[in-house]
Amino acid sequence: MAGKGKGGSYRSAKSGRYVTRAYGKSHPRTTVKEAPGKSGSTGGSYRSAITGRFVTAKHGKASPHTTVREK
């Protein structure tokens, strides 16, 4: 998987797929950096690719290109 490894990984807010570190750094508004060793479940909540904060489901559904649904 691209981007997996030491120091966290990046995931596209548009596709939900993992992307390379270079792509993640060059597209900060549409990618989310995940913490290394991430474990557990967030219960299907949404996270903003821009701020990294959790957002409401309503906002997440209305902004699919700048939010990521975490499972």
- Domain spans in the chain, listed from the N-terminal domain onward: 9-69
Confidence of residue 2 (pLDDT cuts 50, 70, 90): low
Residue 4 to residues 44, 50, 60, 66, Cα–Cα distance (Å): 21, 20, 24, 21
Segment 19-62, tens digit of pLDDT: 999 999 999 888 888 776 655 556 678 888 888 888 999 998 99
What is the value of pTM for the model shown?
0.54
- What tokens does 42 get? 């967030």
pLDDT of residue 26: 94
